[in-house]
């Protein structure tokens, strides 16, 4: 059994604070947005202070989510570029979801699935922010923009929610130890070698 006293820093305090700020603001935006979107889900408003409260706070929470994601983007974007190994990894990504990493190209600090999640979520956030601004100030927008926003905002939100569900599965059930790294900031050498070998080799050589 591996000695858990051996620790490798995976995420520093700034990265963890930003990540959890993104996560918490997303949960609020998602739940309040669902309550405002469908009458069948309006009961969620009661959990968040009532309809008037969520109508006032939903857009501001969306701004907080966008700002936090922008901070995350500024820190991680340069590390999220896909390389040749990442493209091969994506072709065989089903093996990763099935807990079988044998034959997969070795990953750096982030694997190809995490990189795709990052870029897709960033695109969704941009769409949500722009369409949300249109819906926030409809009197200042053209009819065409309002109609586009009415369609784009919920579609982007649902797609983003689907990505988060996948992210939660991959960070807990599919890859035990991932959640700990974002809570405590560290992983064991064995975990690093198994899941992010190129990253482990790089930090070991420094």
Catalytic residues: 167
The DSSP H or E segment spanning 62 is helix 51-76
Question: Which residues are paired to 186 by β-bridges?
Answer: 9
The neighbour count for residue 91, using CB atoms within 10 Å, is 11
For Cα atoms 25, 117, 89, give the angle at the middle one, nearest 5 degrees. Answer: 155
Among 4, 11, 1, 3, smallest CA distance to 203 is for 11
Dist CA 202 CA 91 (whole Å): 25
Phi, psi of 105 (to 5 degrees): -60, 145
The first and second tokens of residue 46, run together, are 């009661």
Matching residue, tokens 């739940």: 31
């Amino acid at each position: 059994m591996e000695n858990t006293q051996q620790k490798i820093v995976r995420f520093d305090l700034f990265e963890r604070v930003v990540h959890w700020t993104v996560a918490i603001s997303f949960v609020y935006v998602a739940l309040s947005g669902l309550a405002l979107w469908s009458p069948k889900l309006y009961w969620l408003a009661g959990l968040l202070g009532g309809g008037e409260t969520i109508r006032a706070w939903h857009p501001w929470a969306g701004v907080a989510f966008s700002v936090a994601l922008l901070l995350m983007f500024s820190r991680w974007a340069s590390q999220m570029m896909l390389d040749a190994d990442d493209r091969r990894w994506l072709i065989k990504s089903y093996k990763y979801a099935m807990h079988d990493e044998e034959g997969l190209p070795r990953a750096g600090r982030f694997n190809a699935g995490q990189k795709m999640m990052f870029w897709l979520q960033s695109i969704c956030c941009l769409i949500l922010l722009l369409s949300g601004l249109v819906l926030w100030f409809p009197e200042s927008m053209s009819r065409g923009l309002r109609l586009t926003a009415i369609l784009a905002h919920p579609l982007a939100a649902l797609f983003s929610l689907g990505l988060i569900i996948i992210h939660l599965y991959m960070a807990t059930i599919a890859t035990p130890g991932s959640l700990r790294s974002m809570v405590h900031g560290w992983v064991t050498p064995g975990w690093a070698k198994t899941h992010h070998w190129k990253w482990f080799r790089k930090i070991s050589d420094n």
